Structure 1
Amino acid sequence: MPATPSQQGVDDVSERTQENRSEGQSPATKAGRRLAAQLAAQKAAEAKRRRQAWAGGLAGVAVMALLIGGFVWIDSNRDDKPSTASGASPSASAAAPDAPTAPPAPQLPEGSDPALGTKPTVKAGTGELKKLTVTPVIKGTGPAVKKGQNITTNYVGVFYKDGKEFDSSWKGGQPATFPIGVGQVIPGWDQGLVGVTVGSRVQLDIPTELAFGKDAAAKGQPEGPLRFVVDVLAAQ
């Protein structure tokens, strides 16, 4: 039989309730769920960004640690190595600061004996020296030295009696130039070198009176008879 109005109302409510249940939830509930889902997604995204930031920060710290460690290792190796002067590498050709250097070889006359490029060994004389004695050691092929010329020489001077060296142009590596035969040097040189040819090496045995004289010691000059070995390199 037909339902009464009150029964009909109950039935309508029951049908709507069943429809809502069949749809799952009310519109308000759906909106809340969507909002909750959005918030959860935002939180998840923020958490992911934080994890990435932490990971990036840790990676940066690790890189800095590696760089600092590398610099420390390089500096420690650098400190362990002996330093060299001006950054130059040590070699056999690098002389020590205090090592003596050989003087340059003199400029020799053209065609002269190569022995003139080497310092001679001069020994003591024997016997009593009474007169000037000129002994050729190497005969040069150049012109003869004339009185008044400027001559360029290398020389070694020793005491005649014991052979002890007192002077040498070889020490400074520069030959000596002076006028000859005009009283600018000792008489034994003025007399003994005039007429010697350029390119020659001669030994001069000079008695006291033709050297620096008997009062040489008082003047701070070599005393007694002397022996010189002289290389005549030029005459002008």
Structure 2
Amino acid sequence: MSERTQQKGPDQSPATKSGRRLAAQLAEKKAADARRKRNAWAGGLAGIAVMALLIGGFVWIDRNRSDDKPANQAGATPSASAPAPDAAAPPAPQLPEGADPALGTKPTVTPGTGDLKKLTVTPLIKGTGPAVQKGQNITTNYVGVFYKDGKEFDSSWKAGQPATFPIGVGQVIPGWDQGLVGVNVGSRVQLDIPGELAYGNDEANAGGRPTGPLRFVVDVLAAQ
């Protein structure tokens, strides 16, 4: 072995040095890439945390606003306990000037007693208007019941509109023609009418109309 070969130390060839520098550069690049990835992950996690805090804050604010609403503004649905208007109730009748307000309410009609032999007119409310004359058109509210049991068979109140007709000229039953002429406008009268002055006593010939003695309570609202 030569002297030059024996004195040679660690490999100091240019190729070896270049390889070490390349390895060092690669290692530094890997380290830099690793640092960038760590920073990117940290930034992403921080962004998610910030978004979570913002969303939580909005939810908390909205919940507080909802809780601060007055109870009567919580919804637009009206209370189920509120009374609803009675759509089936008929309108109040137009009363003559100065008439008793009781004429605005349907009367309660009771049955009669004993045998009814003749037409009987009983004033219940005395009106202050002019007396009804034969041949006039009168406007009335009325309730008709069977005299013996008080069962209602007809009423202008059910229709919610008074009835108008000529009086004293045979357009209504004789008991009305005879019993309402001379009654003052604004009056309420009770007419007890025997069958022969009403629709008769024979059911076979009544054509479905009420037979036998009848009782009417009549309010005279107008006459002209």
Q: Give the structure-2-normalised TM-score.
A: 0.69
Deviation per CA, 1:169-190: give whole Å up to 9, x if none.
2233322222222322211112
Q: Number of residue pairs matched?
A: 193
Pick aligned residue for 2:131 from 144, 147, 151: 144
Provide the residue aligned with 2:193 in structure 1: 206
Provide the residue aligned with 1:46 in structure 2: 37
Letter in 1 for 2:198: A
Pick aligned residue for 2:99 from 112, 119, 126: 112
Alpha-carbon distance, 1:50 to partner: 4.7
Give runs of aligned pairs for residues 72-221 of structure 1, distance below 5 A: 87-94=77-84, 101-216=88-203, 218-221=206-209
Provide the residue aligned with 1:82 in structure 2: none
Q: Any idea what SS the aligned residue of 1:49 has?
A: helix
**Counterpart Cα distance in 1 of 2:203 and 2:98:** 39
Alpha-carbon distance, 1:211 to partner: 0.2
Alpha-carbon distance, 1:163 to partner: 2.0
Alpha-carbon distance, 1:34 to partner: 4.2
* Structure with max Cα Rg: 1
Q: Any idea what SS the aligned residue of 1:151 has?
A: strand
Provide the residue aligned with 1:232 in structure 2: 220
**Counterpart Cα distance in 2 of 1:44 and 1:147:** 118
Alpha-carbon distance, 1:28 to partner: 6.8
Structure 1 window deviating more from structure 2 (130-139 vs 100-109): it is 100-109
Per the alignment, do residues 110 and 33 of structure 1 end up closer, same or farther by CA in structure 2, a change over 3 Å counting? farther
Give the superposed CA RMSD.
Answer: 3.7
**Counterpart Cα distance in 2 of 1:53 and 1:162:** 93
Alpha-carbon distance, 1:60 to partner: 8.4
Letter in 2 for 1:228: F
Per the alignment, do residues 41 and 208 of structure 1 end up closer, same or farther by CA in structure 2, a change over 3 Å counting? same
Q: Give the structure-1-normalised TM-score.
A: 0.66
Provide the residue aligned with 2:69 in structure 1: none
**Counterpart Cα distance in 2 of 1:219 and 1:203:** 25
Pair 1:223-2:211 in alignment: yes
Per the alignment, do residues 48 and 172 of structure 1 end up closer, same or farther by CA in structure 2, a change over 3 Å counting? farther
Alpha-carbon distance, 1:204 to partner: 0.7
